Structure 1
Amino acid sequence: MNLIDVDGLNVHYGDLQVLWDLSLEVRDDDSVVTIVGPNGAGKTTLLKTLSGILTPTSGRVEVLGADVTSIAASDIVDRGFVHVSEERNLFGDLSVEANLRMGSYTKRETFEENRDMVFEMFPVLEDRRDKNASTLSGGEQQMLAIGRGLMAEPEVLALDEPSNALAPQLAEQVFRTIEEISDDVTVVLVEQHVDKALGLADRGYLLENGRIETEGTGRELLESEAVREGYLRG
């Protein structure tokens, strides 16, 4: 059984079509599946559709063998798919620990165990546990967003541009964290740092103009002419 199956997905914003007859899969033996492409290609729209924020015009989405094409986003979380958006969507007036508690609303019985796991992964969050999320640096907020996603015990964690606007050293830390997470949780990664993202990937997809243009292993995409010419110049 695949963790995710997408078949013939078409998505519109009003009269504007963003995704066109898109099909992809995330297999149960994948650690990281990376989706790359230019701004405006439809990458964020795809993640929002997988997570139930957007409803497709047509096509089918299956998560862990269940058709989730038209169900609520909260039900998709219950089925094991968690989406950490580029905006992070933290509760700025709540503490770090309260934000983590919000992430565990479907797993209340294991809150303390999962919180301690997040603190072990991100020690700075334990140091800031009583501070409001709005007072954290950009890198710390990204750590908190990822940690809050992990509190729901996902089988698939989708990360949308996790290194966006971070200093190079912090971006490197995020990529190391993704590699660590992928030992236990399958990661679907949308990322502009194409070389780093595909370097982590078991498989990748190149999305352009709302369509899958190329797919293969991470290495195959890194070596493909389409990726080298379009995204790895210099």
Structure 2
Amino acid sequence: MTLIDVENLNVGYGDLQVLWDVSMTVEEDESVIAIVGPNGAGKTTLLKTLSGLLEPTSGTIEIFGEDTSEYSPEEIIEHGFVQVPEERNLFDDMSVYDNLRMGSYRHREQFEETREEVVNMFPVLEERRNQHAGTLSGGEQQMLAIGRGLMAQPKMLAFDEPSGALAPQLAERVFEKIEEISDDIPVLLVEQHVDRALELADRAYLLENGRIVTEGTGDDLLESDHVREAYLRG
């Protein structure tokens, strides 16, 4: 079964076109799909379009077999595609507990059961349950953002730069958690740490200047001369 099928997607902001004829798929047997490329390539725009935050100029998007091109963000979340944004977008003045409650607003009756699963994965969220989200460390905020995404009971979880602004040790912990999550939930990963993203990926797409220029297994892209020269030097 094809989980995501994007065909000839064009997206822009007003008169500025950002994505050009982007086509990609995610298959049922793939745990991690990585989208890599330089800053400004259109990776976040692609995720926002899949999430319903941007409307495509043309092209089609099917998620779990349904055309979601005109779905609202709320409808796409309800459909099972959930994004953890780069900005995290936590409710800073609300407690950790209440942020998790907000994530489960469509599954309120299963809140405690799902919350228990989340805090088993991220014990710090139970330790900080009454603390305001805005007072957490960067790593703790990222764990909360991921936990809140899981509270929505996604069929697929998309991450936009999950290691952004984190120290290397904390970034590695985030990658470990993403790998753990991908054992049960397919992951769509946009990440600047190209080497780690490709190491995790079953398949990967290289996006440059708004176009898919290379696709293949994570190992294929790790061995690509172009990828090694442009993104993996040093």
**Category of TM-score, reference length = shorter chain:** over 0.9
Counterpart CA distance in 2 for 1:145 and 1:89 is 8
What is the CA–CA distance in structure 1 between the aligned matches of 2:184 and 2:223, rounded to whole Å?
28
- What's 2:151 paired with? 151
Compute the displacement of 1:225 (Å): 1.2
Question: What does residue 128 of structure 1 align with?
Answer: 128
The gaps in structure 2 that reach 5 residues or longer are none
Tell me which amino acid in the other structure corresponds to 2:205: Y
Name the structure 2 match of 1:181: 181
Residues 3-22 of structure 1 aligned to structure 2 (within 5 Å): 3-22=3-22
Write out per-residue CA displacement over residues 77-112 of structure 1, whole angstroms, 9 at most, x where no aligned residue: 111100111000000011001000100011111110
Instruction: Provide the TM-score with structure 2 as the length reference.
Output: 0.99
Partner of 1:226: 226
- 2:167 alignment partner in structure 1: 167
TM alignment of 1:26-45, pairs within 5 A: 26-45=26-45
Q: State how far apart, in whole Å, the 2-side matches of 1:55 and 1:225 are.
A: 35
> Match of 2:178, as an amino acid?
I
| 1:43-82 pair list within 5 angstroms | 43-82=43-82
Which digits, 9 at most, give the CA deviation of each residue in 1:17-73, with x for residues without a partner?
000000000111110000000000000000000000000000011110000001101
* Count of residue correspondences: 234
Determine the C-alpha separation between the residues in 1 that align with 2:73 and 2:136.
27
TM-score (norm 1): 0.99
- Moved >2 Å (runs of 4+): none
State the shift of 1:192 in Å: 0.5
Task: Please give the alpha-carbon distance, in whole angstroms, between the structure 2 residues aligned to 1:170 and 1:153.
Answer: 25
Mapping 1:198-213, distance limit 5 Å: 198-213=198-213
**Distance in 1 between the 2:209 and 2:101 partners?**
38
Question: Cα RMSD between the aligned structures?
Answer: 0.5
Question: Secondary structure of 1:158's partner?
Answer: strand
> What do the CA deviations read for 1:109-132 (whole angstroms, capped 9, x no partner)?
111011111111111110000011
Gaps of 5+ in 1: none
- Aligned-partner Cα distance in 2 for 1:57–1:196: 32
The separation in 1 between residues aligned to 2:202 and 2:102, in whole angstroms, is 31
Q: SS in structure 2 opposite 1:184?
A: coil
Question: Displacement, 1:155?
Answer: 1.0
Identity of aligned residues (%): 71
Report deviation, 1:185: 0.3
Corresponding residue number in structure 2 for 1:108: 108
Query: 1:200-234 deviations in whole A, cap 9, x for unaligned?
Result: 00000000000000000000010011211110011
Distance 2:211 2:167 in 1: 31
| Matched position secondary structure for 1:110 | helix
